[in-house]
Structure 1
């Protein structure tokens, strides 16, 4: 088996492989069969040159406590039915990680259709992107706020929308920066964009898709809605409430604990859909060094790490965190804590404590050694993803 970057001439075959795997539209969009900046497409071939599988490295950046971290987010992994179970996906992911490491990536996230193959390659489930259904009639209504104005957005407003998103995302962990060639566009990615402004300054927005019909089955889908003030959140909710007569149901993708969550009647929601996401380090030293850390956290811990697919991560490490920064360096010191790369992912994303990771069999220690020192790696708080890819 040979794994290498796909040529432009091979992109149509790769699309067809993905179409069969995911049941996509038979007609490929232009972006799928032409070279694009901001991503690398890989293919696995047998000795006759037949395409067996493919995977895509998305050159994203993720926000981690105020600092952007270079990511190799994974999408479009597909293997031909006749080649499944023969290590094709593992070979693709091994090459993807090695090449991503060489270009400077620190971390990687993906949305799996099935978790087992990715767990075998070092990714672990760290969170869920949830979409809720909410009766439009349940939304609170209020008079428009005097100091705020509401208008329809245009493509010219997309830069300001990205800036507002950044105000919301940059202090969190794991969210995409939405910067770079994969996010550059001069067209609205929704049917409509509603903006809330305070003296000309954007303080909230909602990107929505209308759907079809206007009876009891009609749905307004709001994939992207954020606000930076409580007043702006209430104003957006009021605009969404105005759809009650023609769209009785809203589908909303919400960010936990943001301004919208504090004004919505969350008790009236029910889960509409959820997409589980997974995470792993590409390079543990960069993953620790490049992100921000809470300024009040201070400490050190020594541990060994086992990463069979990315052996540059394997070894004994000392982690030091102080004053909002961290360092991870190799050491010859004996370590009592032995961590699997999947356990590293759980701790790094704040998805579990060291005790929970040990109970899952991803952290090993002697009975007389408490695992709590590795909670230092989880000090950054829980990670979130707000974009499906």
Structure 2
């Protein structure tokens, strides 16, 4: 490793990073000048060999919703290593440097889309959800039973309505990005211009209750496809109105592809189980700062806890024993001398996301020790489903 230098990327690295990206991901070489490594909320870290970047990882700064609270999130993307330098262990120092800087900047958690989840478990990441492309016959949408309300076409002036609807939906789930900040610096006109179709559902009183952003491809024959890039509804009536409206394309677009996290409530409105997953994108979570992750969220006001626990294998220096006290909807965390239970880093990620019970974590070897407080832990981390609606 002495031959390699780990450092933040600089502007002079842009061309080499572009070449590395083309080689790693098979993207066509972009037109125009290469993108600066710190553009659009990015922080790029590189491993250089003889001064040339041969490995890189990008930290995209987001905020995520977990348990009704916003958390600063290091969103990891663009992980790549030049073919001739693979197998040299370059990802370990890259992640250590990047995640240490992220914690220093206030990130309590980190997330990523892992093409090979096993690679990232050593850094504390575990799969907690998936951003999928669901494929189904458009005729199934046409058969959805509506319960009132109506739909209308939207435009740039309606983008604030979309943002408000998304925020109302996102805050009730674990995992959605907040869609603001440097990584989402888009004007209303830019958002509207990105999607050819914008359909807004309104309830019987004319209040917006959901939206769909969509496009068409494949002509108007058997290859005709309706691509639903984002579908959000805050009422059952709004969801049904949107699905039924999209279903009117069945004669010219026999297939619909909906991007979402399954299971999705929209599936409850469909008359039969006809969908399949065209592509799944597993979403991984790692806890970086244990105290910040636990104290930054809200808890049920009736919950009263005083628990000691340990964590092992965290990616950046938070291993050890902790004591968490929960009362009146908030938590306090302090170091402890010992703990009766110990989470692995990946076990803590699953625990924090609320996707696995203590019994499941024990069965998987991700939680050890006394089990008399398992029901309390389950009560503190239950009730919200993981959903993610943005790929990065």
The answer as to whether partners of 1:132 and 1:272 remain within 8 angstroms in 2 is: yes
For residue 75 of structure 2, the aligned residue among 60, 73, 83 is 73
Unaligned residue ranges in structure 1 (runs of 5+): none
Instruction: Indicate whether 1:331 and 2:336 are aligned.
Output: yes
Deviation of 1:54 (Å):
0.8
The answer as to whether partners of 1:339 and 1:362 remain within 8 angstroms in 2 is: yes
2:135 and 2:319 mapped to 1: Cα distance?
A: 44
In the alignment of these two chains, the number of paired residues is 384
For residue 222 of structure 2, the aligned residue among 216, 222, 229 is 216
TM alignment of 1:120-159, pairs within 5 A: 120-141=122-143, 148=150, 150-159=151-160
1:97 and 1:67 mapped to 2: Cα distance?
A: 21
* Residue aligned with 2:347, SS: helix
Residues 232, 338 of structure 1: alpha-carbon distance in 2 compared, 3 angstrom cutoff: closer
Question: What does the per-residue CA deviation read over 1:318-374, in whole Å, with 9 as the maximum and x for residues that have no partner?
Answer: 122233322222112x312122111100111112122222222222226x8775554
The answer as to whether partners of 1:65 and 1:294 remain within 8 angstroms in 2 is: no
Q: TM-score, normalised by structure 2?
A: 0.90
For residue 356 of structure 2, the aligned residue among 316, 336, 352 is 352
Question: What does the per-residue CA deviation read over 1:122-158, in whole Å, with 9 as the maximum and x for residues that have no partner?
Answer: 111112222211111122458987753x332223322
Residues 226, 371 of structure 1: alpha-carbon distance in 2 compared, 3 angstrom cutoff: closer
Instruction: Indicate whether 1:3 and 2:9 are aligned.
Output: no
Question: What does the per-residue CA deviation read over 1:193-243, in whole Å, with 9 as the maximum and x for residues that have no partner?
Answer: 112235564221101121121111221110201112222222211210110
Deviation of 1:75 (Å):
0.6
The answer as to whether partners of 2:72 and 2:107 remain within 8 angstroms in 1 is: yes
Match of 2:296 in 1: 290
* Residue aligned with 2:378, SS: helix
For residue 342 of structure 1, the aligned residue among 333, 343, 346 is 346
Instruction: Indicate whether 1:16 and 2:19 are aligned.
Output: yes
Q: TM-score, normalised by structure 1?
A: 0.91
1:45 and 1:271 mapped to 2: Cα distance?
A: 39
The answer as to whether partners of 1:216 and 1:247 remain within 8 angstroms in 2 is: yes
Unaligned residue ranges in structure 2 (runs of 5+): none
TM alignment of 1:103-118, pairs within 5 A: 103-118=105-120
* Residue aligned with 1:32, SS: coil
The answer as to whether partners of 2:135 and 2:278 remain within 8 angstroms in 1 is: yes
Instruction: Indicate whether 1:196 and 2:201 are aligned.
Output: yes
The answer as to whether partners of 1:337 and 1:365 remain within 8 angstroms in 2 is: yes
Question: What does the per-residue CA deviation read over 1:25-44, in whole Å, with 9 as the maximum and x for residues that have no partner?
Answer: 22257783464242211111
1:8 and 1:200 mapped to 2: Cα distance?
A: 50
1:147 and 1:373 mapped to 2: Cα distance?
A: 42
